[in-house]
Amino acid sequence: MTIDRSLTTNFDFEVDSSKFMVADRHAVPKISVVMPVYNCERYLREAVESVLNQSFTDFEFVIINDASTDSTDEILAEFARQDERIIILENQENLGLTGSLNKGIDRARGEYIARQDADDISLPERLKKQVALLDSNSEVVLVSCNIEKINAEGKPFAIMERACPANLVAWYLLFYNRLSGHSQVMFRRKTVNMLGGYSKKYPYCEDYELWCRLAGVGIVRILPEVLLQQRFHSTSVSAKKQAEQKQDILELARSNIKQLTELDLSPSEIENLNSFWVGHTKSANFLDSSNLRHFNAQMQDILKVFVQKKSLGSPSNSLENELKSVVGKQFIYWANMYSFKNKLFKKSELLLYAFNWCPLLILEYVQKSIMRIPLALVNSFARQK
């Protein structure tokens, strides 16, 4: 569909796409790529081109211009004249991200919804690989992937490795947004419509909230490869609303755990659980020896209920053992923050908790530590010479 809006750029209206249908107007695309945009002229072209250049081509591109005041309008009109897959929806007033997303999904026709942010870059094989997974796994309701971080100029600086076994995603989502980004996912449109779309209850983590609900009705998969570049810059919502976003995340995690266990945890207890998994050292109050015992007991209670409900009331030793190993590894992660030389007691304390969760982990840890000793001695001897 080609939209010529050259005569209407000074007016605020919603495009009636039925007037611009191509000959094959009844053909339903496999995917609807949904992208809200608000004043993102600096990165918009690169984001749009990354979608249009996908190796998988059976899609419509629903772009919601959320009452932008920069040159977004002209940029989108230019692309729409060149590619008939683009559908532009104009908001008469700023609806925000959640409202724009729901509007785009209501307009979408594809079997699957692929999200795209106006400042991120989808790698060429993204849609092809995600649609293949959904087509071959009917129980999967959402697929994500690993993410490469890029700065404002587009330079890569880190990889977010989020992939994990599918049966662990729901566990991680209890405490934090394991998927991390929003722009890299693809999900089943009918399932999200059945759940009522994006919720306005948590405006700064609407994505995380939806992932939690989807994990309750199906399987969430994270592909172990980078299919998206997520841009980090000072004008993004995450950067400007960092405090509000963190508050929403903690409130949602608190709601998740209460719904699962009926435990009404305090804000500090929720922050400790979140920090344990995310790795926030600044708010890791659970590391205090006076808090560790209580924190560990809470983790045991949550895990026990999670296993019971995921196993439909029957014991599941495999899931329980896998989760215990995951918790043990995270205690080792925190233990590695300390050295035996300067923080012997704290490191030993955390390793003891790891041992209680999964003894085999500590045996592996000791074995690897012993193997590093000869190398350390060689390095020390070399420095002395």
Angle CA 297–299–302, to nearest 5: 110
Residues 292 and 251: their CA atoms lie apart, in Å, by: 22
Q: Domain segments of the chain: what residues?
A: 17-240, 267-375
Closest CA to 220 of 257, 169, 269: 169
Residues 184 and 123: their CA atoms lie apart, in Å, by: 10
Q: Which CATH number does 17-240 carry?
A: 3.90.550.10
pLDDT at 6: 32
Backbone region of residue 133 per phi and psi (left: phi > 0; alpha: psi in -120 to 50; beta: other values): alpha
Q: In one letter, which amino acid is 345?
A: F
CB-based contact 206:97 (threshold 8 Å): yes
Residues 301 and 299: their CA atoms lie apart, in Å, by: 5
3 state SS of 24: coil
Along the 385 residues of the chain, how does pLDDT read in single tens digits? 333 333 233 323 333 333 333 435 468 999 999 999 999 999 999 999 999 999 999 999 999 999 999 999 999 999 999 999 999 999 999 999 999 999 999 999 999 999 999 999 999 999 999 999 999 999 999 999 999 999 999 999 999 999 999 999 999 999 999 999 899 999 999 999 999 999 999 999 999 999 999 999 999 999 999 999 999 988 777 677 889 999 999 999 999 999 999 999 999 999 999 999 998 777 778 888 889 999 999 999 999 999 999 887 556 689 999 999 999 999 999 999 988 777 889 999 999 999 999 999 988 888 777 766 554 444 554 555 5
Residues 222 and 114: their CA atoms lie apart, in Å, by: 14
pTM for the whole structure: 0.87
Instruction: Report CA torsion sign: 37, 41, 42, 45.
Output: positive
Residues 244 and 237: their CA atoms lie apart, in Å, by: 10
Angle CA 174–176–182, to nearest 5: 115
pLDDT at 313: 58
* Radius of gyration of the CA atoms of the chain, in A: 24
pLDDT at 16: 37
Read off the DSSP letter of residue 111.
Answer: S
Residues 15 and 18: their CA atoms lie apart, in Å, by: 9
pLDDT at 219: 98
pLDDT at 379: 52
Closest CA to 64 of 108, 11, 20: 108
**What residues contact 81, with CB distance under 8 A and at least 6 apart?**
2, 3, 4, 6
* DSSP assignments along 234-264, one per residue: TTSHHHHTHHHHHHHHHHHHHHHHHHHH---
pLDDT at 376: 46
Per-residue burial over 46-76, b = 16 or more CB atoms within 10 Å of its CB, e = otherwise: ebbebbbebebeebbbbbbbbbbeeebbebb
